[in-house]
Structure 1
């Protein structure tokens, strides 16, 4: 199979783990080493910025550079356009690629809101293109193993599942590069990103919510914006939520409860997820609430075990610390039919957008809401 020619939007230049873009940490290193893909074009805010990114990331080959999405989409040497930028820009940058009939990859969330997500999905369908969305927690080995055990009946009938996480953002201060997370209308916040990834994993394992009830809170409505040295630059309003509780009944039976909060857990339990069945229970734990980035451990306790001993289940993980290419690489492999051939599409992402919309509606109305 000839490699898929990728035009990338969003691989900005920069050095250091917390300076480089997510594209540079999770996608570019994998795409340049796999024979399934080749990067043939790069688009940033300017052509000069795209050229700097190519040199900074040492991307090999002859690569065209662009400063606008229309020119990239028109390049005949591009089969697939990958968009890895801030959520509010997704719709504007995706549309030219879809109109040109290119296959597309985009980070989660697909768009800033449900309306935009549905419009993009309809456009992709009308152009008969293949789509992939970065809900890569579904590719995590522990989560896939948990799904396998639930579906095989190894845990028996699922009675309940409980998840608690800390989203790692929305403390009392925030760096300038994350200021766009504060207005709720931008669609990039604790509810949509860390909690959204985690609930997508939950639904992937035990099934969707039949109905749900949610409570949201904005406990820190003003946040200090700081520079790289920690100096306070200004204080700004925050309308995005920093606390979320969602509970409800599952389509496949059983009940679910999810709680996410901003910042990090003071008790050190930034991610803990239990799945309880009639034959046993699973416990997934991780160091951060971003389960799509950091691999949780997987343990099981069997029903009838008098000592209630948790037994760790060994799964495949990367041998490199902080290797963000592991889950994303498996998604890229699946897109070309390798691995189990399962990846997340625009249609899948719309379901998750509908769920988030139901969470917001329930918080406003105080009623149970459904989304499927």
Structure 2
């Protein structure tokens, strides 16, 4: 992949200007002096014009083809619902632009593999929105594990839950209805959090899972209209990592109280705990606690300031993680590195989720290919 660093600002065009664009991507990009948002597009030109006016963006389009071919756009950010990603990404690649796709990359492994092959053949830089792995807490955790803080890992456990994805959905989550959209708890939260975990502790070698749909119907709160639910609400699983450690994981939506993130890592000479009372939209960075040997107090391990690569801000940590991803992309453009997660990482996660579904439907332990 070519080194495209030029020292100039990366001019960004955003396709899809819904809540996550306004709450996450636009503030994250505006935080970094290396980017300039030059264009936005929406199916309704009025929406695109309103966003452009609100954020001082020069161009607004109703057709994404006009945005991806705009000479004032160097990088295309693809933010519509997952079923629309492939078409926009292909258009951006054909135009020779760097491209970011929100996670899920597409609605299927095959489609995601196709995007990876097309992007590689075109020589464009490609980024997937698995930003949690580049946040300060995730990077510090990765280094703690690599430095043998806990000695040899014996076990890793992660639990992720959120009040969202309950049986009643607000209009803003209408796009999560329907398995064909691949925008359910398993696709989104398993993708984000297990990518972050495996980037820190190593990849899985085997896994076995049970996937459940516990809300038989879903209701749109705005209209009261109900639909049969064909999407999963939760997953539990076990397995092993490539380094031999035992693995257990649980992700569940619609948990009304005491939700959030907790990771426990047990080693031969120490232990680590990573926690956050929220799995999304959290105000504080993940808390990392640890202890070495039975005589060492189990206490907070403050994240060194060197792990932050963005300017100070009042943005919540979920958005700051996104800013770290964009900062990593700037570093990659400058140095030819591969810090930011890319389409290959997206394909790997698609394949892991496929194995989880296969295990749940067959009851069989699945072996993860080492190149996945």
TM above 0.5, one fold?
Answer: yes
Q: Which residue of 1 aligns with 2:286?
A: 296
Provide the aligned length of Structure 1 versus Structure 2: 354
SS in 1 for 2:186: coil
Would the alpha carbon gap of residues 298 and 275 (structure 1) be closer, same or farther in structure 2, given more than 3 Å must change? same
For 1:134-283, list aligned pairs within 5 A: 134-227=129-222, 233-264=224-255, 266=257, 268-283=258-273
Contact 1:87/1:188 (CA < 8 Å) preserved in 2? yes
Retained in 2: the 8 A contact 1:137–1:293? no
RMSD: 2.1
Q: Is the 8 A contact 1:194 1:290 kept in 2?
A: no
1:336 alignment partner, SS class: helix
Aligned-pair CA distance for 1:294: 6.3
1:219-261 Cα offsets, whole Å, 9 max, x none, are 111022102xxxx521111111111012111012201100111
List aligned pairs for 1:311-350, cutoff 5 A: 311-315=299-303, 316=305, 320=314, 322-337=316-331, 342-350=339-347
Corresponding residue for residue 2 of structure 1 = 8
User: Which protein has the bigger helix share?
Assistant: 2
Q: Which residue of 1 aligns with 2:3?
A: none
Structure 1 residue 95, shift from structure 2 partner: 1.4
Q: What secondary structure is seen at the aligned counterpart in 1 of 2:72?
A: coil
Is residue 197–residue 292 contact of structure 1 (8 Å, CA) maintained in 2? no
**Contact 1:210/1:370, CA 8 A, preserved across alignment:** yes
Task: Report what 2:34 is aligned to.
Answer: 36
* 1:49 corresponding residue in structure 2: 47
Which residue of 78, 83, 102 corresponds with 2:78? 83
Q: Which runs of 5+ in 2 are unaligned?
A: 1-6
The 3-state SS of whatever aligns with 1:309 is: coil
CA contact (8 A) 2:359 2:366 kept: yes
Report the alpha carbon displacement of residue 189 of structure 1 after superposing the two structures with TM.
Answer: 0.7
The answer on whether the counterparts of 2:102 and 2:129 sit within 8 Å (CA) in structure 1 is yes
Structure 1 residues 291 and 361: alpha-carbon distance in aligned structure 2, compared to 1, 3 A threshold: farther
Alignment deviations for residues 14-40 of structure 1 (CA, whole Å, 9 cap, x no partner): xxxxxxx11111221232342211112
Structure 2: how far apart are the matches of 1:132 and 1:191?
A: 21
Distance in 2 of aligned mates of 1:193 and 1:331:
17
Tell me the SS of whatever aligns to 1:219. coil
Counterpart of 1:16 in structure 2 is: none
User: Could you say which structure has the greater relative contact order, defined with CA pairs below 8 angstroms and 6 or more residues apart?
Assistant: 2
Query: Which of 353, 357, 361 does residue 356 from structure 1 map onto?
Result: 353
Aligned partners of 2:281, 2:319: CA distance in 1, in Å?
Answer: 14
1:248-284 CA-to-partner distances (Å, cap 9, x unmatched) read 1101220110011111253x24321101111111101
Following superposition, the deviation at residue 90 of structure 1 comes to 1.0
The 5-angstrom pairing of residues 91-110 of structure 1 reads 91-110=86-105
Q: 1:266-315 deviations in whole A, cap 9, x for unaligned? A: 3x24321101111111101111234999632110022222xx73210112
In the TM superposition, what whole-angstrom CA distance separates every residue of 1:32-81 from its partner, at most 9, and x where no partner exists?
3422111121111133321111123x235xx2221112211211221110
Quote how far apart the aligned CAs of 1:323 are. Answer: 4.8
Structure 1 residue 91: deviation in Å?
1.1
